[in-house]
Structure 1
């Protein structure tokens, strides 16, 4: 049993890390939030993301996977998720173009005003909402995630715990590294470059939102 649990933990960690490393809405939001809150943005976003995934885990244990895999459901999720991504992307671009993003963090030695971070609860909530807006996140849980949960459940409560721990730790490690890197780098690149970075991230979300809506409309959402 211990060997099986370790194998499950390791596999869940590697599969989760492979997904976390791919560019997506949560990575884009992590970059934007790190310009406001610094390195602490990563753990807060992953907390919101993880709470949503914990809820999904329990729902899958109750048999939700077969419902999410239905074509009509996946199409509706894609369209609604795309609409949320369009809204988030537009808000990021608007904030950057309006000059609401500053280069410094509280405690920097220069006198430039620092952008006040959003409330911690809002950052946590954003981590969950950005995941919920991504139809591929739901489809991953309806297919790959459901298969993992079924395997973990056969090992009992310990199996479920080891699976989820491995999965969420991959997200926590990666996004903490990303936000720490961006927070450190903001002191050596210009304010204009940071605004361009946020605009680029916003544009990425707009493109992703359009693609999600188009895929949902055509019924071509797939892993």
Structure 2
């Protein structure tokens, strides 16, 4: 569901770029705003991870299947995490935009084929990552997992602060 949210955001970006609004996303002001929002979002995510690790509210135990509202939230999270990631924006403002430009040489069908190939690769990659993660549950304890989540939360906060400092 998260990758679906990522894919929906990418589809919207591709449509926008194919129809000429690419200059908006390459604007330093817009990119800066998205980057700042992304840093705040990353710090908030890191805080939540640290809090979950400390409160022991995160576990590797199998969770109940979510309801449809939970699945819709995962789609929204996928779009938000992607859209606020500075690297996502940088990739689309450079490599992605050039890929759209090249695929547009074949017309809208070229852009459609680019999107289909790109999103299928995203699904294959993230399926491999989630499969590896779910199988890895047998390798570590809940305590170790909580420590990993806590440390990754600290890393994400440091990354959100450090990335902005590197840009100054």
**Which residue does the alignment assign to 1:51?**
8
User: Gaps spanning 5+ residues in structure 2: where?
Assistant: none
Q: Distance in 2 between matches of 1:204 and 1:165?
A: 34
User: Gaps spanning 5+ residues in structure 1: where?
Assistant: 1-43, 106-113, 219-223
**Which residue does the alignment assign to 2:97?**
146
Residue pairs, 1:97-136, within 5 angstroms: 97-105=54-62, 114=63, 119-136=70-87
Does the 8 A contact of 1:89 with 1:201 survive in 2? yes
Give 2:18's match in structure 1, choosing from 61, 68, 75: 61
Question: SS where residue 106 of structure 2 aligns?
Answer: coil
Does the 8 A contact of 1:153 with 1:160 survive in 2? yes
Does the 8 A contact of 1:84 with 1:133 survive in 2? yes
Q: Which of the pair is proportionally richer in helix?
A: 2
Give 2:46's match in structure 1, choosing from 89, 108, 112: 89
**Which residue does the alignment assign to 2:161?**
210
1:181 is aligned to 2:138: no
1:75 is aligned to 2:32: yes
Deviations 1:1-38 (A, max 9, x none): xxxxxxxxxxxxxxxxxxxxxxxxxxxxxxxxxxxxxx
User: Displacement, 1:131?
Assistant: 0.7
Q: Distance in 2 between matches of 1:188 and 1:137?
A: 31
User: Displacement, 1:174?
Assistant: 1.3
Aligned residues: 166
User: Which of structure 1's runs of 4+ aligned residues deviate more than 3 A?
Assistant: 114-118
| TM-score (normalised: structure 2) | 0.89
User: Displacement, 1:115?
Assistant: 6.9
Q: Distance in 2 between matches of 1:148 and 1:123?
A: 28
**Which residue does the alignment assign to 1:27?**
none
Deviations 1:186-207 (A, max 9, x none): 1232111111221232223212
